[in-house]
Amino acid sequence: MVVLRLCEAVTAACLSRRLLHRCRALALAVAAGAGALPVAAADWGLAVFLIAERTTDRASQASYAPGDRARTRLAVENRGAVGLSDIRIEIEFVGAVPVLSAMREAADWTAEADRLRTVIATLDPGQSVEFPVVVELADGTERGARGTGGEARIRVTVPASGETVVTQARWPIVGCARAYHDALRLVRLSEFADLRAAVEASLTPDTDLPGRLIFVRAPADSTAPAKFAGQIARTRGVDGFFTTEDARWVAGRVIRDIDAYLGQDLYPGLCTGVVQWTAAMEAQVDRFARRAAQTRALLDAFLPAVSDTAASIGGGLAAEIGGEIGGEGSGPGRHDAELLAAELLAALGTRTDGLSGAGVFAAAQGWIGSGSHGLGEAERRAVDAAFAMLERQWYLEMAATRADAVADGFARTLEAIRAAHGATCTCRR
């Protein structure tokens, strides 16, 4: 009854009759914000509240289908200064059938077509009465057949002194299938949209890349990670795994299946089979998770060689390349190797403002080849090797980031579907 007290407090603040209509609107807004469904009578003597309960008579783990039961409690309170009598309550049902056997204990309901009626003989000031309202979701209407739930429309009248005071309320009986259907639309606009973008990116060359390694030779070029980095450089960021006929077919097929699932029509059995379906999808896209792990392993295996090369520079430059990444350039979307290369170039006295990606390595090569660096031959070779290793690390990071985006995109989309199912398909739990 916290909501009722809030409404009373707002009403009491209305010190003049001229402000009553404004205060009435404010009180209703307070109650609505608290989660109730109040409607007050014209003289503020009567208020109706619906207190919904998410319950069902069925215990199976399957979710909504027509025939499930839903309950609410209808509270009628006299908040006026005088007693009321002959309070007439009428409930009209749409897409739902009242279960009189569960309602007649609290009130003597009279049934007529799709309506129920009862009368409260008297209601003293401050007194309230609650009635349980129990319905069974129908399957004989368009709403019921499509699993969209139903609605109860409540009208309360008090014929007194020649005036009829009317109070109305609505109880939307939302079926689980409807709630899940709405939640799937949100998944389509968020996680699934990110997945599609990630898969598209994995197949699309970055035309801003040169299509080759700028630093032609590196100390670890004979290793598998360095060779893979060279391949990524030549394909402008595209891992050949994703362009194989098998990978393209699987990714395309699963995306079409998810798209169809997220966009399917509303029907009563929408909540069923989700666990099995998502498991089947996961089995098909497991190859992308494995590829992401393989690519990340190549990067991890390459990092010690980068550190060793950095250590060979000597002096403060080794600290620059081996230290923590910092500065204003360390925003999202830039790779660690790119940042380290920019920091090393800055430490060597070359500005890196506005440079990113391959531009950092092109600037480094230009500086080394200019002859104006003032480095000894041994130190020049060490710096050249460091940039060469960082360039290869950068391409490995690029491949790992793209592979992770695809694997995570599938995982997050399927997890979002399961989460939506768990949050909305609760009608028979």
CATH, residue 109: 2.60.40.1530
Distances (CA, A) of 254 to 190, 280, 284, 319: 17, 10, 8, 47
Same structural domain, 152 and 209: no
- Which of residues 134, 150, 174 is at a domain's end? 174
Same structural domain, 14 and 59: no
Cα(383)–Cα(361) distance, integer angstroms? 12
Same structural domain, 2 and 128: no
Q: Which residue type sits at 188?
A: R
Same structural domain, 220 and 86: no
Within a domain: 338:
yes
Among 279-283, 312-316, 382-386, top mean pLDDT goes to 279-283
Question: Taken in order 272, 274, 279, 281, is the CA torsion positive or negative?
Answer: positive
Same structural domain, 84 and 213: no
Given a cut of 70, whether residue 243 has pLDDT beyond it is yes
Provide the pLDDT for residue 25: 34
Within a domain: 429:
no
- Which of residues 123, 141, 174 is at a domain's end? 174
Give the residue-averaged pLDDT of 271-275: 89
333, exposed or middle or buried, with CB in 10 Å at 0-12, 13-18, 19+?
exposed
Range in 64-68, 181-185, 355-359 the model is least confident about? 64-68
Within a domain: 405:
yes
Range in 51-60, 95-104, 163-172, 399-408 the model is least confident about? 51-60
Within a domain: 347:
yes
Same structural domain, 380 and 347: yes
* Pair 100, 134: CB distance under 8 Å: no
Q: Which residue type sits at 56?
A: T
- Which of residues 174, 196, 214 is at a domain's end? 174
Give the residue-averaged pLDDT of 375-402: 91
Within a domain: 132:
yes
Give the residue-averaged pLDDT of 248-277: 93
Of 64 and 253, the one with more pLDDT: 253
Same structural domain, 124 and 243: no
Provide the pLDDT for residue 188: 95
Same structural domain, 136 and 7: no
Same structural domain, 116 and 207: no
CA dihedral 62→63→66→69, nearest 10 degrees, is 100
Within a domain: 122:
yes
Same structural domain, 164 and 296: no
Same structural domain, 295 and 323: yes
Same structural domain, 144 and 200: no
Minimal CA–CA distance to 46: which of 17, 25, 22, 75? 75
Provide the pLDDT for residue 34: 34
Full DSSP string of 70-128: EEEEEEEEE-SSS-EEEEEEEEEEESEEE-GGGTTTTS--EEETTEEEEEEEEE-TT-E
* Pair 131, 103: CB distance under 8 Å: yes
- Structural domain harbouring 302: 180-424
Number of independent structural domains in the chain: 3
Minimal CA–CA distance to 301: which of 400, 209, 214? 400
Whole-prediction pTM value? 0.65
